[in-house]
Chains A and B, each alone.
Chain A
Amino acid sequence: MTSYTLTLERADGSSDRVTATPDETVLDAAEATGVGLPFGCLTGACGTCTGRLLEGDIEHRRPARALKERHREAGYVLLCVAEPRSDCRIRVGADVQAELVPNPWR
């Protein structure tokens, strides 16, 4: 089966490379390589696993309910339900989820 190279980049400049098949989620592929990423519900509802797609194509295998239209347009993806369709560069880490909603009073 085809496999793609995923480059997972963190805010601190570090990165990991993992290989994933198109029927595998980014999260599972990372876990299989021993790269721990944040996650929660694993059903696309909670957004804990949010990453930002910098390059490449992914498809969500279940609806990405945790993301609003504006998030999807900005390239946010849910790694627990995201399958690669090409080689990808993805920003990962807990700080990506924290970007989704600002403090409304600030």
Chain B
Amino acid sequence: MSDAEQPSDQETDVDPHAHHDHGPEGPGYATPQAAIEQSEPEETAYVMGLYVGTDVDAPDFLAVVDVDPDSETYTEVVDRVEMPNRGDELHHFGWNACSSSCHVGGLERRHLIVPGQRSSRFHVIDTEDRRNPEMTKVIEPEEVYEHDLSAPHTVHCIPDGEILVSMLGDADGDLPGGFLEMNDQFEVVGRWDPPGEIEMNYDFWYQPRQNVMLSTEWAAPKTYYPGFDIEDVEAGRYGQRLHFWDWEAGTVEQTIDLGEEGLIPLEARFLHTPESTHGYVGAALSSNIIHFHDEDGEYHAEKAIDFESREMDGWDMPVPALPTDILISMDDRYLFGSNWLHGEVWMYDISDPSNPRKADSISIGGYFGDIREVQGRELDAGPQMIQLSLDGERLYWTSSLFSSWDNQFFPGEAENGSVMLKADVNPRRGTMELDEEFLVDFGEMPHGPARAHEIRWPDGDCTSDVWQ
């Protein structure tokens, strides 16, 4: 452990501020605070762009977005890496390596692992040239099905250059899901977990110093793929449990059933400080944020934020907020999140982690957002995938959730494409304000309007890195 805690020991002859540059000392940053101090403001964003669930006959793509305000192509998609096949549904993606391997010399944060949520195909994209990334490897679905897994979701770089991916279904798109492990050569090693530990799967986060991993639950792919059917909730086909794993052993130690208050627990975030056992999960359907932490050797989870459903004139039932994404600022001061249906991005002060305090929010897009357009571009869906700059001063988001769910709730995402928007955040005052100058319009792609999903920066972000 001491090596892992003191990665800078190895770099006595180099400028410690250059630690995050590609170099012999390994990828990432020594600590979360080092990530804040040593990173430059993001100039490039990688964004998943997709055509699944539309009549545009084109493959999904990795969009390279210019987010450098001093650039002539600011807010433009400056490059697109098209997938070799159609129908992937690009969704979440991740790095080959992050701060969890920062003691591994020679390893670089350089390759993006980009799975197809529907196709179960993996793409490896080399970002050595940040503005002109190149596809270097494709792992075909058959190689994934061999391990009786499908529907890749979250990609985390884990220590020693390995890669772990949550898989939501078996080879038929049914339960159980599990985890797929890849080595540093991007070869499928196999199933990481012994079958039978979990049924449903979704997101995961690990905190190695606490020897814990948390996984959450969506549903079987065959259940959520075609759209959100309320009958499936009534039939218990959607998740409501948190699984706390023994990270080293790869087995579930404790399962917490959240019940009605925790339906569809999606994004899982531990605080960044490697000592912490605290974190949050967004229970999307119940529209609650669940706070969890370890006390006396056992994890406890309780509702910490409750978003009330809202009445829509003429509709049958009150509409839930649907907080589909959350993240924690690198300084562990704020929890940010998005309420996709209601149309809101928000930030809560979590300096007292058990008692989040609302700091600010922006009401935009969705069913109830006050702001209905940016630069004359009409908004449809609310904020969905969010990403924060490492310094905590710029929050970006896109508007697509999942093709079939978009088609159900915000069909405009298919017709007009998604938007990527930004707010300026003042982390000292706890405020955020929409940047009206910033609009990336995925409605204006060469093949036609595209959806946009997860966002990442080349030098790591608030959902990519874990510390040993």
CB within 8 Å of B: which residues of A?
36, 38-48, 50, 63, 65-68, 93-94, 97-98, 100-106
8 tightest A-B contacts by CB? A45-B173, A36-B57, A40-B118, A47-B226, A101-B227, A46-B225, A104-B230, A98-B407
Q: Do A46 and B221 have beta carbons less than 8 Å apart?
A: yes
Contact partners of A106 in chain B: CB under 8 A = 312, 315-316
Residue of B nearest to A27 (CB): B87
**Most chain A CB neighbours (cut-off 10 Å) among B87, B221, B231:** B87
Q: Do B172 and A65 have beta carbons less than 8 Å apart?
A: yes
A5 CB to nearest chain B CB (Å) = 22
Q: Do B87 and A40 have beta carbons less than 8 Å apart?
A: yes
Contact partners of A101 in chain B: CB under 8 A = 226-229, 404, 408
23 A–B pairs (Cβ distance < 8 Å), ordered by A: A36-B86, A40-B89, A40-B118, A40-B119, A41-B87, A41-B221, A41-B225, A45-B172, A45-B221, A46-B173, A46-B222, A47-B227, A50-B226, A65-B173, A66-B173, A68-B229, A97-B53, A97-B407, A100-B226, A101-B227, A103-B408, A103-B409, A105-B320
Task: State the CA gap A76–B98 with chains docked (Å).
Answer: 45
Q: Do B52 and A40 have beta carbons less than 8 Å apart?
A: yes
**Most chain B CB neighbours (cut-off 10 Å) among A41, A63, A65, A102:** A41
Task: State the CA gap A56–B317 with chains docked (Å).
Answer: 39
Q: Which B218-240 residues sit within 8 Å CB-CB of chain A?
A: 221-222, 225-231
- With A43-B172, A45-B173 as known contacts, state yes or no: A98 contacts B221, CB within 8 Å: no
Contact partners of B411 in chain A: CB under 8 A = 98
Q: Do B315 and A66 have beta carbons less than 8 Å apart?
A: no
Residue of B nearest to A49 (CB): B87
Size of interface on B: residues with Cβ below 8 Å to A: 41
Task: State the CA gap A48–B222 with chains docked (Å).
Answer: 11
Interface of A is mostly: loop
Query: Total number of A-B contacts with CB less than 8 angstroms?
Result: 116
**Is B169 positioned at the interface, with any CB of A under 8 Å from its CB?**
yes
**Is B55 positioned at the interface, with any CB of A under 8 Å from its CB?**
yes
Interface string of B54-67 (1 = CB under 8 A from A): 11010000000000
Q: Do B407 and A94 have beta carbons less than 8 Å apart?
A: yes
Task: State the CA gap A79–B423 with chains docked (Å).
Answer: 43
Contact partners of B169 in chain A: CB under 8 A = 45
Task: State the CA gap A18–B408 with chains docked (Å).
Answer: 30
Interface string of B398-435 (1 = CB under 8 A from A): 00000110011101001000000000000000000000
Contact partners of B119 in chain A: CB under 8 A = 40-42
Q: Do A46 and B54 have beta carbons less than 8 Å apart?
A: no
**Is B108 positioned at the interface, with any CB of A under 8 Å from its CB?**
no
Q: Do A105 and B315 have beta carbons less than 8 Å apart?
A: yes
**Most chain A CB neighbours (cut-off 10 Å) among B55, B319, B320, B403:** B55
Complex partner residue of B404 from A47, A102, A104, CB under 8 angstroms: A47
Interface string of B23-55 (1 = CB under 8 A from A): 000000000000000000000000000001111
Task: State the CA gap A102–B411 with chains docked (Å).
Answer: 12
Q: Do B318 and A105 have beta carbons less than 8 Å apart?
A: yes
B95 CB to nearest chain A CB (Å) = 25
Q: Which B281-329 residues sit within 8 Å CB-CB of chain A?
A: 312, 315-320
Residue of A nearest to B414 (CB): A94
